[in-house]
Chains A and B, each alone.
Chain A
Amino acid sequence: MTRRVLYDNIALSLATLPVVTVYLPVITAPASIFFSIKYWKNPGSILPRTKVRFVLAILLSLIQILLSRR
């Protein structure tokens, strides 16, 4: 049996789920960007899968960071 961690799902969840609170994205948005960049080249699922979740996670996190600065 093989097991793989889906870092793209983790990054996307970090970018989307804490949005329901106000203060959590301050921490989770940079964490999501960190996860996306660090694990970009890590082997993900052995099934066909694209990097679109990483891209979405980075974009959403950047939007959250920009909004939090205002």
Chain B
Amino acid sequence: MAEKIYERLPGRGANTIFAVKLWLANDHLLLVESMGFSESYKRFYFRDIESITVTHTDRRLIINVVLAVFAALFTLPIFFSDLAAAIVWSILALPIYALIVVNTLKGRACVCHLTTAVQREKLASLSRCSVPNASLRKIEPSSSRRKPLPSPSSRSDAPLRPALPQSRGPRGRRKVHGVRRLLLPRVRFRAPPPRHLRKLPPQALGPQIRLVRPVCGYRPRRPLSRGIFADLGFLFHHGPCPLAIPTSFHEGAVWESLDR
């Protein structure tokens, strides 16, 4: 039997077809992707990890909206049918409502990325905001206990990478966010936190983790209202364009007019 050197970290997720779990060892994190009959393992040594970033997403809201649409589809016929049919429809609708409740209770959705010098790996098992907090609380003591191995390039007495002091940006915002020493300040954050996150007190997500928006892959989102108006404007402006096509084009006789 394998030695019990691994401790299971909370949370489970899925990456396309793989079930993903995260395990903690003395000197590394183990990302396990299992597909029923086989398992793949990726090791991330603490000395290689540069940052673990957590970003809020709207996945919970989107899932709830989709489920609500299905729930409405199964609920509306209840009011227009007889008793037997209403019971059948409510039996069909109840699991969807249960899914909505479960999805809401699981907490806010987030995306967690682990960055090393050579890759950026998505930690699919940490997909809810409560989970990364619990996991990082376990990871942090292990990472602070770690003893970095000397690499061939740094055999001198100089430290491997001195921890940089937290600097402040031009407007006084902290540039470097991190889980104390675990998140080394290689990753820079250019964008300010979104408006709805600025209202949150810093302890809302626990003392050890900060919400960050990494520069890499950052794309400001268009507000929904502005998007709808932009789409309506586009339709209003370009909608009549097909009307300018001559009827001979639809009748297949446009070539005759060109020949003339």
Interface size for B (C-beta < 8 A) is 16
Interface size for A (C-beta < 8 A) is 18
Whether B38 lies near A3 (C-beta < 8 A) is: yes
Q: A4–B38 Cα gap in the complex (Å)?
A: 6
User: Closest Cβ of chain B: how far from A2's Cβ, in Å?
Assistant: 4
Report chain A residues within 8 Å CB of B42. Answer: 1
Q: A25–B43 Cα gap in the complex (Å)?
A: 39
Counting residue pairs across A and B whose Cβ atoms lie within 8 Å, the total is 47
Known: A9-B36, A47-B23, A47-B32. A2 touches B6 (CB 8 A): no
Report chain A residues within 8 Å CB of B48. Answer: none
Looking at B1, B39, B41, B43, the one whose CB has the most chain A CB atoms below 10 A away is: B39
Whether A49 lies near B37 (C-beta < 8 A) is: no
Q: Provide the main secondary structure of the chain A interface.
A: loop
Known: A47-B23, A47-B32. A6 touches B2 (CB 8 A): no
B104 located at the interface, meaning its Cβ lies under 8 Å from any Cβ of chain A in the complex: no
- Given A47-B30, A49-B2, 7 additional A-B pairs, CB 8 A: A2-B43, A3-B41, A4-B38, A6-B37, A6-B39, A9-B36, A43-B2
